[in-house]
Structure 1
Amino acid sequence: MNQPKEYDDSNSLQYRDIEDLVEEFPEVFKKMKGRIIDIGCGPGNITKGVLLPAVGENATIVGADLCPYMVAYAEQNYSVTNKLSYMQLDIQTPELPNNLIEKFDNATSFYCLHWCRNTKGALRNFYQLLRPGGKAIILTISHHMIFDVYSEQREDPRFSAYMQDWLKFTSPQHGHPDAEDILRNDLNDIGFKIHHCSNRWKTFTYPRMEALIDLVMSVNPFVMRLPADLQKPYREDFEKRLKDKHLPKKDYSSGCSVDCCIALLIAVFEKPHY
């Protein structure tokens, strides 16, 4: 697979939102010292480019991701000797390895937990990973229009056979007006002390429709399952559904910008001392 040497998405939705998070909670990040685990680090570019400069000077970060390819890529392109390394980890595992339990002083996770159907189980593992007094900050999607389109397309006879597990790729909070309360209850049940929890809508503007669809297709889990002759119709159908039902009404054929609304859950929480 041909890949650029480094991911360049400094203008992406994820980059913007995580940089905004650092600006909103600068002291939370600055006070992060010791060992930090970044859950769902992906290719490592944001872990190195945004998180590492924001935390305490003496902190060391371990980026963790489920995908072994991502971990290998991050290790090759975004590691920093004695400061930033990577490992493979399934944050939804029912049993964490003993060598990770209470080995981290802080934890972060950005744009990851919406992939976890068992969010509470994942957060329980956060509790296990953290030492007493350890803090965590997370940002995850609670609502996105692409999940609505998944729900619609799985009813289309052309695509339904390839989308039977569509819920696996949909945020468990999607469509819930009380997403913040759900997260608060989970954190409280696990035993965390909550410092902040909010669910807020944000808008990201893409320069043109093609840029939005390119991004959506790049993270869409169903495209590569489709036969070659269905991939273009699937893309066209996705774009039509967005225009017809989920985006502001205007003439996108003229190359105008596209405003995409997204709801984000943000939480800062702490594992109490025994």
Structure 2
Amino acid sequence: MNFSRVKTYSSISYAFDLQFMEDISQAMPLNQKDVLLDVGCGLGILTKLLSKRVGKVKAFDNSPEMIKEAKEISKAENITYSVGDATKLSTNEEYRNSFDKVVAHFTLHWMKDYKTALEGIYQSLKPGGQCFVDTGHQSPQIINTITLLNCYTSPKLETFMKGYVHAYYPFEGTADNFKQMLADIGFKDIECKHTVIAKPIKYNEAKEFYPNFMGQLGRFPEDCREEYIEEAVKYVWDTGHKDDQDHNFSYLRCR
């Protein structure tokens, strides 16, 4: 995800996170005795909401810029922020068997090795602890959109695109496949379902939303980025999007 643009989406993200907060609390009851780990906390919007339902939250993200922003969004005394890599969670002895609850909200699909991250989540839970994870799933529209956005090459900026590979790894199997992977790791009492969010999106909204997924922007000189965004979004839109078309995001949710 591209941090330079992610804050432009924060207002919409907040509305989604409010809904996900309710989904989490219904699927995995929270209480003031809980110590919770928030894996890949991003801007910390959901972290802030979680902190009001539990005793302590430890939140980490692999982006120092995200953590800096998260600290501004919530200065709650029961939140501890840090920079960290979810795929190295299993080697963190401080976290082993330490958490009553773990949340990994739309973070696994940014990792190629998300099974290792899930193994780390399992090891971080106390005996009898619970986790709630959701991750991007194969959905033709969203995958094609993200692929097109990250493959678009402007003749003027072609040099900056050499060697660029976008890191987006949606789960390719079924909900049952994901459930089996969790069982193989050691999770018990698993519930897993496939959900599709359909949200109408207009072109002007797309210009604000799509750049969040354009990781290549950091390679370009700043004075070229806005022109590139305009070209790339128009290209993707003209390739298959129409005004008011539903924007479908397919994901797997497990607890």
Q: TM-score, normalised by structure 1?
A: 0.76
Distance 2:132 2:45 in 1: 18
Moved more, 84-93 or 22-31: 22-31
Question: How far off is 1:101 after superposition?
Answer: 1.1
> In the alignment, is the contact (CA less than 8 A) between 1:101 and 1:128 conserved in 2?
yes
Residue 246 of structure 2 corresponds to 259
CA distance in 2, matches of 1:157, 1:11: 30
- Give the partner amino acid of 1:35: V
Kept after mapping to 2: 8 A contact 1:79/1:85: no
Distance in 2, matches of 1:25 and 1:94, equals 22
Q: CA deviation at 1:261?
A: 0.9
SS of residue in 2 equivalent to 1:170: coil
Q: Conserved in 2, the CA contact under 8 Å of 1:39 and 1:63?
A: yes
Q: Counterparts of 2:23 and 2:147 in 1: how far apart (Å)?
A: 33
Q: Is the helix fraction higher in 1 or 2?
A: 2
**Residue 92 of structure 1, CA deviation:** 0.8
Larger RCO of the pair (alpha carbons < 8 Å, separation 6+): 2
Q: What is the number of equivalent residue pairs in this alignment?
A: 244
Residue 29 of structure 1, CA deviation: 4.1
- The one-letter code matched in structure 2 to 1:131 is K
Dislocated runs of 4+, deviation >6 Å: none
Map Cα deviations across residues 192-232 of structure 1 (whole Å, 9 max, x no partner).
Answer: 014310111111233x3122222211342112313555752
CA contact (8 A) 2:104 2:132 kept: yes
Among candidates 137, 148, 154, match of residue 132 of structure 2: 137
Q: Percent identity?
A: 20
Ranges in structure 1 where 5+ consecutive residues have no aligned partner: 269-274
* Aligned positions of 1:1-274 closer than 5 A: 11-12=11-12, 14-32=13-31, 33-48=33-48, 50-53=49-52, 55-56=53-54, 59-81=55-77, 83-93=78-88, 95-143=90-138, 145-152=141-148, 154=151, 158=155, 159=158, 162=161, 164-167=163-166, 169-173=167-171, 176=172, 178-206=173-201, 208-227=202-221, 228-229=223-224, 232-233=227-228, 235-245=230-240, 247=241, 249=242, 252=243, 257-268=244-255
Contact 1:149 1:238 in 2 (8 A): no
Corresponding residue of 1:272: none
Q: Residue 39 of structure 1 contacts residue 64 of structure 1 at CA under 8 Å; is this kept in 2?
A: yes
CA shift at 1:185, angstroms? 2.3
TM-score (norm 2): 0.81
Q: Give the alignment's Cα RMSD to 1 decimal.
A: 2.9
Unaligned runs of at least 5 residues, structure 2: none
The change in CA–CA distance for 1:105 and 1:230 in structure 2 (over 3 A counts) is closer
